């Protein structure tokens, strides 16, 4: 048997939608992107959505639109994909990592205040594996110290905690439609916000800082455009929007399916004493983006190889990013700086989890895990 780490859910609807997009006059940002923005806002409940080329772009532009740059500090987590920190680095600001909670892997809100200095401008939490951080606490710290909050919501499209939805208690939330995310167009992203001015500025920055986008320039009689500020090229295209649009209606269905499969994994693996699982907090909707196990660091890499030899796709989300060469060289936070993040980073393996995963495939993955710890 072969079990892929991830399979997307694109089908005939998405194929028809792309085919249609290719006969539109504008392949770049236009009607379909605007429709995506409207429908995505309806789904998330955040009034403004800006379609972009990635979540990294969304975080970068959110920071820029909040005037964060050289000399500023942004508090974030080392237990994430490198992009979270790189988005801060792109602006010239300094990422300041705060260690994570041992049992969830999310930024430890209790430790945020001691990291705040007079240079701190924002907090950039990541909702790891799909579990919302304690946004009420993070928001109250931000209010007290007059800081912005930007969410890396790449795992957390569906997430709610204590009635607080993703993107509700922050200045902006950043989503990814990268290949392995719960809805995808290969590469893509979006920023949502409750702040119209912020949305307008991000909309301008996504197309170089021009005063109007292509469809507006070509659809009316010629008007000179101006370069309002020096921006970036991060605009979502109609083709990307065509792929992602039909999936919006299926987000909750996909999540519920992953939740079922997640529980099958938990039931099947709960009797292996060598395996630990991240804690799911109560009173929340978990995005169930990844199914993660934590094992003894002494055997993690051997277990990765065991899965690989058994034709099972697995990955590591994530090694603590302070230890990645370029970031270690630049920010000099060596081993021992973030004990919980490093411990998780040394222990973690993500197993396959997606709606099209079959029960027999989960059984096979679990049997290989049992086999490993028996031998
Ligand atoms: C996927 C991911 C990103 C990057 O998303 P892109 O759309 O590829 O830029 C950022 N943060 C986290 C936590 C991710 O999983």
Condensed to tens digits (0 to 9), the pLDDT of residues 341-356 reads 999 999 999 999 999 9
Ligand 1 centroid–CA 185 distance in Å is 13
Give mean pLDDT, residues 269-293: 97
The span from the CA of 183 to the CA of 249, in Å, is 10
Ligand 1 centroid–CA 345 distance in Å is 17
pLDDT band for position 375 (cuts 50, 70, 90): confident
CB 358 within 8 A of CB 117: no
Backbone angles phi, psi at 299, to 5 degrees: -120, 0
Tokens 């899965």 sit at which residue?
307
Query: What residues contact residue 192 under an 8 Å CB cut-off, 6+ apart?
Result: 40, 41, 44, 46, 48, 49, 50, 167, 172, 173, 175
181 is catalytic: yes
The span from the CA of 312 to the CA of 319, in Å, is 20
pLDDT of residue 25: 87
* Residues above pLDDT 70, as percent of the chain: 98
Ligand 1 probe mutation, 6, 50, 59, 81, most atoms within 8 A of CB = 81
CB 258 within 8 A of CB 288: yes
Question: What rounded mean pLDDT belongs to the chain?
Answer: 97
Please work out whether the CB of residue 157 comes within 6 Å of at least one atom of ligand 1: no
Catalytic residue among 121, 181, 333, 368: 181
Task: Give the pLDDT confidence of 192-216 residue by residue, as tens digits.
Answer: 999 999 999 999 999 999 987 666 6
CA–CA distance from 232 to each of 38, 88, 238 (Å)? 23, 15, 18
- Output DSSP code: residue 124: E
Q: Work out which ligand 1 atom sits closest to the CA atom of 57.
A: 9
Examine the pLDDT at 322 and tell me if it is beyond 80: yes
Examine the pLDDT at 296 and tell me if it is beyond 90: yes
CB 369 within 8 A of CB 269: yes
């Amino acid at each position: 048997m072969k079990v892929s780490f991830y399979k997307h859910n694109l089908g005939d609807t998405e194929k028809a939608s792309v085919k249609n997009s290719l006969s539109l006059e504008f392949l770049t940002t236009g009607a379909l992107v605007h429709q995506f923005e409207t429908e995505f806002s309806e789904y998330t409940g955040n009034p403004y959505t800006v379609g972009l080329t990635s979540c990294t772009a969304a975080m970068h532009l959110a920071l820029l639109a909040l005037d964060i740059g050289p000399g500023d500090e942004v508090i974030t987590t080392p237990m994430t994909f490198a992009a979270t920190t790189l988005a801060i680095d792109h602006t010239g600001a300094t990422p300041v990592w705060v260690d994570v909670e041992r049992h969830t892997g999310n930024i430890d809100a209790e430790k945020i205040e001691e990291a705040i200095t007079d240079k701190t401008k924002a907090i950039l939490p990541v909702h790891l594996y799909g579990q919302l951080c304690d946004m009420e606490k993070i928001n109250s710290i931000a209010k007290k110290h007059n800081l912005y909050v930007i969410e890396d919501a790449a795992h957390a499209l569906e997430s709610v905690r204590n009635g607080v939805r993703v993107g509700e208690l922050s200045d902006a939330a950043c989503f990814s439609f990268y290949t392995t995310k719960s809805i995808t167009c290969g590469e893509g992203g979006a920023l949502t916000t409750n702040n119209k001015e912020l949305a307008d500025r991000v909309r301008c920055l996504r197309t170089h800082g021009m005063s109007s986008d292509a469809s507006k320039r070509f659809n009316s009689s010629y008007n000179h455009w101006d370069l309002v500020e020096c921006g970036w090229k991060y605009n979502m295209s109609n083709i990307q929007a065509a792929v992602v649009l039909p999936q919006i209606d299926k987000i909750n269905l996909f999540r519920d399916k992953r939740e079922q499969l997640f529980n099958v994994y938990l039931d099947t693996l709960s009797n292996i004493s060598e395996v630990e699982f991240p804690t799911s907090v109560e009173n929340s909707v978990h995005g169930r983006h990844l199914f993660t196990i934590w094992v003894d660091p002494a055997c993690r890499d051997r277990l990765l190889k065991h899965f690989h030899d058994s034709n099972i796709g697995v990955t590591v989300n994530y090694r603590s990013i302070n230890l990645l060469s370029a970031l270690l060289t630049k920010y000099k936070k060596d081993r021992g700086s973030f004990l919980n993040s490093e411990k998780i980073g040394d222990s973690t393996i993500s197993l396959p989890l997606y709606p099209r995963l079959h029960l027999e495939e989960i059984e096979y993955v679990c049997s290989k895990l049992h086999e490993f710890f028996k031998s």
